[in-house]
């Protein structure tokens, strides 16, 4: 079995720990490679390399840095099929989604390459004569990127591309469930000509390799996507670093009686069972008006039962496996919570097959907002149908959880649509589309406990990886005092 290395200062090396771990194909439980269990010393070296390298990188004009990013996008395009197959094998998602994961990376590198010709600050009049005022962007310095497994190419890219265009030095610590995807991505960055030391990659456990990144004083920014509890811990431990957190979700689709019910059905299936429910934007709740509950339930269950479970790389599969044994156990634990709390199980509720981490698409109905399956993130193929009477009750139900990432409403009534947009407290709201479908040129992120207010992607994504410098240029040739001098004609 191939042993993979970590990438420090432009060299592929073994970890100082002398230890390795395995990454498994979640459909077969077969190992796909051996990976370095990076430790604190590896991370320290990676941080030092990034610190040395970023000064030169940031001196390269941003449009030139953009050219390197464009090269990354071109190489990703060439390698799309191979990388898609790798995503399907290591993470488990079905091929069309795995290719989408790579496409998102292509999109963000292209988008951020263009950002190299903007990186806008703003200019504004000064309150004094003969004085010029503007803002410019500066890199943070060394940034730590800590990523999950569910978008193993896209999420690291969502962070790498803006961090690079802003001129930072980087240490990437990917999830131990998908280290090979991160390694292959970094090899593409290397091939595209990112100078040595600018991007470093350390695989290994969160509580050693990840922790060093959080604690190390040379690191100026942390961009983390993952679980809420990990995110809260990071925020406490990171001291005065700039921290961006993209955490969990408990997203909901509202279905009004005036909706196109067929369209809503497609949206609920895609939102609930796409990526086996393992998206931060997954529609794990469907809030349904009681007047259409029965007919929707019947059709939803019928279609869910027809979904074909199988390995992501098998063309016949509609739904892939869960990521690991822990996820399988967690999903089943929530089935037991649902039953114990009195929800009605309409379909699923058990493991599928004996090899691989497959779980049947699971639908509960007559779920109330206080039940754990309606409140907590399961991150599996479990959808809770919550019946309500009318829009006000529906919106109240959407807002009854601690998270606030994505939401959706199916309605043909413009007043319902705008009321939902206005009242739902989530970072993203879709109208007549599922809770899934972010595009890289718009901001992405959530309200409430989904994060700490930062946004990724789009122009706002640049903020996480840059500092604003305010510049005053006084060309009056005399001492001028803001707020004190009175300007005369």
Residues with active-site annotation: 246, 280
- Candidates 24, 166, 214, 398: give the one binding ligand NAD (CB under 6 A): 214
CB of 267: closest distance to ligand NAD in angstroms? 19
CA atoms within a 13 Å half-sphere pointing along the CA-CB vector of 199:
27
Question: 41 and 47 in contact (C-beta within 8 Å)?
Answer: no
Nearer to ligand NAD, 173 or 285 (CB): 173
Nearer to ligand NAD, 62 or 424 (CB): 424
| Best CA proximity match to 180, nearest among 304, 417, 380, 20 | 20
Q: Is 246 in the site for ligand NAD (CB under 6 A)?
A: yes
CB of 209: closest distance to ligand NAD in angstroms? 8
Q: Is 233 in the site for ligand NAD (CB under 6 A)?
A: yes
Question: 433 and 267 in contact (C-beta within 8 Å)?
Answer: yes
Q: Is 379 in the site for ligand NAD (CB under 6 A)?
A: yes
CB of 247: closest distance to ligand NAD in angstroms? 5
- Candidates 14, 211, 218, 372: give the one binding ligand NAD (CB under 6 A): 211
Q: Is 175 in the site for ligand NAD (CB under 6 A)?
A: yes
Distance, in Å, from the CA atom of 356 to the CA atom of 146, rounded to the nearest integer, reads 26
Q: Which residues contact 230 (CB under 8 A, 6 or more apart)?
A: 206, 224
Q: Is 150 in the site for ligand NAD (CB under 6 A)?
A: yes
CB of 61: closest distance to ligand NAD in angstroms? 31
CB of 413: closest distance to ligand NAD in angstroms? 30
Question: 395 and 254 in contact (C-beta within 8 Å)?
Answer: yes
Phi, psi at residue 12, to the nearest 5°? -90, 115
Distance, in Å, from the CA atom of 186 to the CA atom of 313, rounded to the nearest integer, reads 23
Q: Is 21 in the site for ligand NAD (CB under 6 A)?
A: no
Q: Which residues contact 434 (CB under 8 A, 6 or more apart)?
A: 253, 266, 267, 268, 270, 271, 274, 283, 408
CB of 401: closest distance to ligand NAD in angstroms? 13
Q: Is 34 in the site for ligand NAD (CB under 6 A)?
A: no
CB of 456: closest distance to ligand NAD in angstroms? 7
Question: 196 and 166 in contact (C-beta within 8 Å)?
Answer: no
Nearer to ligand NAD, 77 or 218 (CB): 218
The interface with ligand NAD within residues 409-468 (CB under 6 A) comprises 446, 450
Element (H, E) at 223: strand 219-225
Nearer to ligand NAD, 39 or 293 (CB): 39
- Candidates 35, 149, 334, 410: give the one binding ligand NAD (CB under 6 A): 149
| Best CA proximity match to 408, nearest among 248, 249, 250, 252 | 252
Number of residues that bind ligand NAD (CB under 6 A): 29
Phi, psi at residue 58, to the nearest 5°? -75, -20
- Candidates 84, 152, 169, 248: give the one binding ligand NAD (CB under 6 A): 248
Q: Is 404 in the site for ligand NAD (CB under 6 A)?
A: no
Q: Is 146 in the site for ligand NAD (CB under 6 A)?
A: yes
Count CB neighbours of 342 within 10 A. 10
Distance, in Å, from the CA atom of 3 to the CA atom of 185, rounded to the nearest integer, reads 17
Which CA distances in Å does 93 have to 3, 98, 176, 327, 454? 24, 6, 17, 14, 27
Q: Is 247 in the site for ligand NAD (CB under 6 A)?
A: yes
CB of 165: closest distance to ligand NAD in angstroms? 20
The stretch near ligand NAD (CB under 6 A) out of 55-63, 85-93, 188-196, 223-231 is: 223-231
| Best CA proximity match to 445, nearest among 423, 420, 431, 464 | 464
The interface with ligand NAD within residues 327-346 (CB under 6 A) comprises none
Nearer to ligand NAD, 21 or 233 (CB): 233
The stretch near ligand NAD (CB under 6 A) out of 27-35, 226-234, 289-297, 387-395 is: 226-234
Q: Is 226 in the site for ligand NAD (CB under 6 A)?
A: yes
Q: Is 357 in the site for ligand NAD (CB under 6 A)?
A: no
Question: CA-CA-CA-CA torsion for 308, 310, 312, 318, nearest 10 degrees?
Answer: 0
Count CB neighbours of 326 within 10 A. 11
Nearer to ligand NAD, 149 or 313 (CB): 149
Question: CA-CA-CA-CA torsion for 192, 198, 202, 205, nearest 10 degrees?
Answer: -120
CB of 100: closest distance to ligand NAD in angstroms? 14
Element (H, E) at 201: strand 199-201
The interface with ligand NAD within residues 267-306 (CB under 6 A) comprises 280
Nearer to ligand NAD, 127 or 229 (CB): 229
The stretch near ligand NAD (CB under 6 A) out of 73-81, 114-122, 144-152, 349-357 is: 144-152
The stretch near ligand NAD (CB under 6 A) out of 119-127, 132-140, 221-229, 330-338 is: 221-229
Question: 29 and 354 in contact (C-beta within 8 Å)?
Answer: no
Distance, in Å, from the CA atom of 235 to the CA atom of 54, rounded to the nearest integer, reads 25
Task: Catalog residues that contact ligand NAD under the rule CB under 6 A.
Answer: 146-150, 173-176, 206-207, 210-211, 214, 225-227, 230, 233, 246-249, 280, 377, 379, 405, 446, 450
């Amino acid at each position: 079995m191939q042993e993979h290395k970590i990438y420090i200062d432009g060299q592929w090396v073994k970890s100082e720990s002398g230890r390795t771990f395995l990454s498994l194909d979640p459909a077969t439980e077969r190992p796909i490679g051996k990976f370095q269990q990076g430790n604190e010393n590896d991370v320290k070296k990676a941080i030092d390399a990034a610190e040395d390298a970023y000064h030169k990188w940031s001196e390269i004009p941003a449009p030139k840095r953009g050219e390197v990013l464009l090269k990354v996008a071109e190489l990703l395009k060439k390698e799309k099929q191979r990388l898609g197959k790798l995503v399907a094998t290591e993470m488990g998602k079905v091929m069309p989604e795995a290719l989408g994961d790579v496409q998102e990376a292509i999109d963000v590198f292209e988008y951020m390459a263009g950002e190299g010709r903007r990186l806008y600050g703003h200019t504004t009049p000064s309150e004094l004569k003969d004085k010029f005022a503007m803002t410019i962007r500066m890199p943070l310095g060394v940034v730590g990127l800590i990523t999950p497994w569910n978008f193993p190419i896209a999420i690291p890219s969502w962070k790498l591309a803006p961090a690079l265009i802003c001129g930072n030095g980087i240490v990437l610590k990917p999830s131990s469930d998908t280290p090979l995807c991160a390694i292959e991505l970094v090899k593409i960055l290397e091939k595209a000509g990112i100078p040595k030391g600018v991007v470093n990659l350390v695989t290994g456990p969160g509580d050693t390799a990840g922790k060093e990144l959080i604690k190390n004083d040379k690191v100026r920014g942390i961009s983390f996507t993952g679980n809420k509890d990990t995110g809260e811990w990071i925020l406490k431990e990171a001291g005065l670093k700039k921290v961006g957190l993209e955490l969990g979700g408990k997203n909901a689709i509202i279905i009004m009686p005036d909706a196109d019910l067929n369209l809503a059905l497609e949206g609920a299936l895609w939102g609930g069972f796409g990526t086996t429910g393992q998206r931060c934007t997954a529609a794990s709740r469907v809030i349904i008006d009681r007047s259409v509950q029965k007919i929707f339930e019947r059709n939803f269950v019928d279609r869910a039962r027809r979904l074909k479970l199988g390995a992501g790389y098998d063309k016949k599969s509609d739904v892939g496996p869960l990521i690991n044994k822990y996820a399988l156990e967690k999903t089943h634990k929530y089935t037991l919570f649902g039953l114990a709390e009195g929800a009605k199980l309409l379909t699923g509720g058990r493991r599928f097959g004996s090899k691989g981490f497959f779980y049947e698409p699971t639908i509960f109905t007559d779920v109330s907002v206080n039940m754990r399956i309606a409140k907590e993130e399961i991150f599996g193929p479990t959808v809770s149908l919550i019946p309500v009477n009318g829009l006000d009750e529906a919106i109240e139900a959407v807002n009854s959880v601690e998270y606030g990432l994505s939401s959706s409403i199916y309605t043909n009534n413009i007043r319902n649509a705008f009321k939902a947009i206005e009242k739902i407290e989530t970072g993203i709201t879709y109208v007549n589309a599922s809770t899934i479908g972010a595009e890289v040129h718009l901001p992405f992120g959530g309200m409430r406990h989904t994060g700490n207010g930062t946004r990724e992607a789009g122009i706002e994504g640049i903020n996480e990886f840059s500092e604003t410098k305010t510049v005053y240029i006084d060309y009056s040739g005399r001492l001028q005092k803001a707020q004190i001098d009175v300007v005369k004609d």
